[in-house]
Amino acid sequence: QTAAEESPLPLRVGTSLLEQLPQDVRKQTPTFVFGEQIEGKTDGVTVIEGEAELRRHDAVIRGDRIEYDNASGETKAQGRVLVNKQGDRFQGPELQYNTNTEKGHFQEPTYELLRNDARGDASRVEFLGDGKAEVYNGRYSTCPRPPGATWNPDWLLRAERIELDNVEEVGAAHSGVLEFKGVPFLAMPYLTFPLSDKRKSGVLPPSVSVDSVSGFSVTAPYYLNLAPNYDLTLEPTYMAKRGVDLTGEFRYLQPNYLGQVRASYMPSDSLRDMDRWAYSWQHSQNVGQITGSDSLRVGVNLNRVGDDNYWSDFPRALRSLTSRLLRNDAVAVWRQGPWVANVGAYTYQTLQLDDSPITPPYDQLPSTTLTYSQQDRSLLGMPGWDFTVQTNVTRFRRANFVPTEGIQGNGERAFVMAEATRRWEAPGWYVQPKLRVHSAQYRMDDVLLGSSRSASRTLPTLSVDSGMVFERQAAYFGRNYLQTLEPRLFATWTPYRDQSYLPNFDSASRSFNWAAMFTENAFGGNDRISDTRALTLGLSSRLIDPESGAEIVRLGWAQRALLKDQLVTLPGGSAVTERLSDMLLTARVQWDPLWALDSTVQYNPKSRESARSTIGVRYTPGPYKVFSAAYRVQRERSKQLDIGWQWPLSELWGEAGKPVPNGALGPGQWYAVGRLNYSVMERKPVDVVAGFEYDAGCWVGRVVLERLQLNTTSANQRVLFQLEFSGFSRLGGSSLEALKSHIPKYQYLRQETLPASRFEQYD
Amino acid sequence: CGFALRQAPKFSFSAINIMGLTNTNISRAIQRNLNAAGVQVQRGGGPLPVQAVMTIEADYRERVVTGQSSGGLVTELQLRTRFRYNITAPNGRILQESSELLIERDITFSETAAIAKAAEEQMLFQDMESDITQQVLRRLAAVHI
């Protein structure tokens, strides 16, 4: 006896059945027949009567009577015929089909497709082989068919001929009409639609809106999947009061580059009697190597519009985060070992308004940076030092600049910043001293305040950052924690140099936050180096769940003490003589996965007031259920309340829906969705996107109210209606993007999922 | 009061595969920290037998306008960093469910100071990334094989 016989081969668990058999195996698969009465001979015609069934591995034919020719595969079936081809089912009175060529036709069938759960009926279906079929005088919908009753789906596509291609996973309708609740609303001579969740050409959900500026508008987007790595979305919009806007977006993806181009054009907009246009281009490319061990990348980011009012006349159309400041830059980055070189042109288009003008930021035309950094080097026999030397030469230019009092002109700046730092550390503590020298040279087109056209400034800065981490076991509110206590001390020293005569190209004050409290320079940018001689003390404590390692609570406090007055200021600023800074208080609580609270307060202990504070709460009790609220106050400047929500309404009257795979919380659900940004000071909503979504199962309807405050007196308001047919039009729509970006846990009601298996539809 | 200086974290695995996004800032920082703690790290898998597999599913930055004046000028921005990962045993058994760390920072904004603000955003994103790195390392130390 051998060892192999003693221990037979173990069975292995397969996690899935084989969807597709290889072509050569497929031909050899046997054909089985069943029935009450079977007559026939080998390699001849077999006749099966009564509950007849013919079965191959991926196809089943049933009927009252089946005639099957073994040699040719020719099959005729009559009476309550059912065909299941790879999960797609057709039912009807009479079928003619060849099991070898997979060609044939079916009279008056109803059908159900597996992949997108679509169904319909037709006067005839023609099977063309190779996974293709044609449906004549057919209806097509993804709405369910109740057993017995006549089928009146909520939406349907009616067409003279529909081609179904299971290989390409695309359907095409000739002379088709889309109907909703029995009302035809879109007739198309030719229309394609996807048969699966894969990206395929087809209509995107159309939207209809009523707008305070544009009147009645219709957008009918169409998606063209040009190739696996190219696609194009066309978005024509008809605005009753203004005309037709044409928008297209082309995206491309290649091994070495990717990007997208978006362009809009509206000829003779009657709102302002002019042509309107906008375009943007984002491109990122890996150019490759020059010497062999380096890399060169280029990036382009262009955003331009035709006129200053574009942002308010086409709200939410621009992809730029800042709607009145559009970035336009092109940059090349080269890296080799410790070297990084960066050459770029950075410009801005500012959209000016008479009653709220913008002082535009400087364009940098060009800006060249060379950085050399080395880690873990020896200095005076001591290892572990990091060195960085950065040089930058930039030509600063302000677009459309008119020399006026108080605003300086154009010029060039070169700076060198050299830095040496070392970190001594252990798991429980660290000390990190840093020495920095910053030297800048200026040459201006016009005379500076000091009656010279050029100036320079060199300043050293010495700083030491240090911290410790203590830990203990603790228990609060019946839970065990690992509690930490983390003191941090930061000391910085920079001597005073008068910099008031220097131009300010890119320096600005920082927001008051934890990271900024522990930096050397009170200003961001390179034109002002503050004479900060200060100590910053910070203390934070965390509660960590010992089981998961997750952070449950974090509290922090930090304050800076100036050892001397800070005399360097931004233009128009005043020296800081208050030796104790405001306190920074932070709290972050994630008590369980449902609740999150985040708060930052800038508190002045002398005046007992907070200069700036934010508090945000988020409650996420389950799928499709989120409520978030944030309150942000800048004293004497702004008070804003920001609320976001997605909530199933049936929840409110106690009938909770159950999650359905790729069907949200099941059919027949209403959801409230929205985002509201409210200015408490002006008592005005600044930005509102709010409405309802209804999920019928085979379609999703949406009514959204949008309001965007454009200036102190006027706002753009619109009501938007959108219909999305499940399994027919891909999801999308700009109103959804606004929700997605403002409600961090917002979920779309439909998502792309794995394709269905033919074994789910097994006969 | 029971506080003691922090000791070096102990990981219950001596070798780990990092899958998914292996070359983001956070991913590299985690790998560096694990290496420093004596854990063998294999980027994208490798020949060594490992006891744990960490898959980094998402790591991205978001910028959202949270404050706007009525003239369309942006006054406040929110910066967000999202990081999603899961940890399994080599046989697929889940050691830590897929979880998302979401960190937000609010900053003031002004169009005129756009250049300085861009640099400040970089600083805050780096700060958030090191915050997430520390949180993930705490979670990795709590994994029991």
Identify which of B5, B113, B139 has the shortest CB distance to residue A548. B139
Which of A 270-289 lie inside 8 A of B, CB atoms?
none
CA distance A564 to A578: 9
Whether A614 has its CB under 8 Å from any CB of chain B: the answer is yes
- In tens, the pLDDT along A544-590 reads 999 999 999 999 999 999 999 999 999 888 999 999 999 999 999 99
Which residue in chain B has the smallest CA separation from A473? B2
A26-45 pLDDT tens trace: 667 778 888 888 888 777 88
Q: Does A36 touch chain B (CB under 8 A)?
A: no
Average pLDDT rounded to a whole number, residues A333-345: 94
Residue A741 at interface with chain B, using a CB cutoff of 8 Å: yes
Say yes or no for a CB contact (<8 Å) between A640 and B69.
no
Distance CA B101, CA A485 (A): 22
Write down the pLDDT at residue A1.
43
Closest-CA distance of chain B to residue A307, Å? 15
pLDDT above 90 covers a percentage of chain A that reads: 48
Identify the sign of the CA torsion B10, B16, B20, B22: positive
Q: Which range, A338-347, A667-676, A730-739, has the best average confidence (pLDDT)?
A: A338-347
Q: What is the CA radius of gyration of chain B?
A: 19
CB contact under 8 A, A515 and B127: yes
Supply the DSSP symbol for A351: -
Mean pLDDT score, A448-456? 76
Using an 8 Å Cβ cutoff, are A220 and A205 in contact?
Answer: no
B72 SS3 class = coil
- Binary contact (A428, B5; C-beta < 8 A): yes
Measured between CB atoms, which of A513, A682, A744 is closest to B70?
Answer: A682
Provide, for chain B, the percentages of residues in helix, strand and coil under a 3-state DSSP scheme, each rounded to the nearest 5: 30, 40, 30
CB atoms within 10 A of CB A661: 8
Non-local CB neighbours of A20 within 8 Å, separated by 6+ positions = none
Distance from A714 to chain B by nearest Cα, in Å? 9
How many angstroms separate the CA atoms of A425 and A635, rounded? 40
Residue of B nearest to A327 (CA): B114
| A324–chain B Cβ distance below 8 A for any pair | yes
| CA–CA min distance A712, chain B (Å) | 6
User: What residue type is B111 in one-letter code?
Assistant: E
Sequential DSSP letters for A284-309? EEEEE-SSSS-EEEEEEEEEEESSTT
Provide the pLDDT for residue A403. Answer: 53
pTM equals 0.86
Inter-chain residue contact B70 with A679, CB threshold 8 Å: yes
Cβ-defined contact of A513 to B124 (cutoff 8 Å):
yes
- Any CB–CB contact under 8 A between A471 and chain B? yes
Identify each DSSP E strand in A306-428 by its residue range. Answer: 325-336, 339-350, 363-379, 382-397, 411-422, 424-426
CA atoms within 13 A of residue A751's CA, in its CB half-sphere: 11
Q: B135–A525: do the CB atoms touch at under 8 Å?
A: no
How far, in Å, are A191, A606, B12, B135, B141 from residue A548 at the CA level? 52, 42, 13, 11, 9
Question: Is the pLDDT assigned to residue A4 strictly greater than 50?
Answer: no
Take residue A378 and report the two structure tokens written for it: 């020896």
Asked which of A166-180, A357-371, A400-414, A667-681 is least confident by mean pLDDT, the reply is A400-414
Answer for the pair A369, A390: CB distance below 8 angstroms, yes or no. yes
Minimal C-alpha gap between A469 and chain B (Å): 6
- From A262's Cα to the closest Cα of chain B, the distance in A is 20
Q: Is residue A386 less than 8 Å (CB to CB) from chain B?
A: no
Give the chain B residue whose CA is nearest to the CA of A737. B64
Q: Nearest CA of chain A to the CA of B19: how many Å?
A: 21
Residue B87: Cβ-neighbour burial (10 angstroms; 0-12, 13-18, 19+): buried
More confident residue, A745 or A158: A158
A678 vs A685: CA distance, rounded Å: 4
**A-B C-beta contacts closer than 8 Å:** 178
What's residue A716's pLDDT? 86
A524 touches chain B (CB under 8 A): yes
Residues of A in contact with B34 (CB under 8 A): none
Per-residue pLDDT tens, chain B, 145 aa: give them: 789 999 888 899 999 999 999 989 999 999 999 998 999 999 988 888 999 999 999 998 999 888 887 778 898 899 999 999 999 999 889 999 888 899 999 999 999 999 999 999 999 999 999 999 999 999 999 998 8
CB contact under 8 A, A472 and B68: no
Residue A341: the pLDDT is 96
In angstroms, the separation between the Cα of residue A402 and the nearest Cα of chain B is: 16
Model ipTM over 0.90 = yes
B70 interaction partners in chain A (CB closer than 8 Å): 679, 682, 684, 686, 709-712
> Do residue B114 and residue A322 have CB atoms under 8 angstroms apart?
yes
How does pLDDT run across A454-472, given as a tens digit for each residue? 899 999 999 999 999 999 9
Min Cα separation A481/chain B (Å): 12
Q: Do A523 and B116 touch (CB under 8 A)?
A: yes
CB A173 within 8 A of CB A188: yes
Q: What is the pLDDT of residues A698-718, one digit of tens each?
A: 888 889 898 888 877 888 888
Residues of B in contact with A364 (CB under 8 A): 115
Average pLDDT, chain A: 87
User: Which of A348, A513, A594, A679 to substitute to test the interface with B, most B CBs within 10 Å?
Assistant: A513
Mind listing the pLDDT tens digit for each residue in A73-104? 888 999 889 998 888 899 999 999 988 888 99
Identify the residue with better confidence: A331 or A212. A331
Tell me the shortest Cα–Cα distance from B49 to chain A, in angstroms: 22
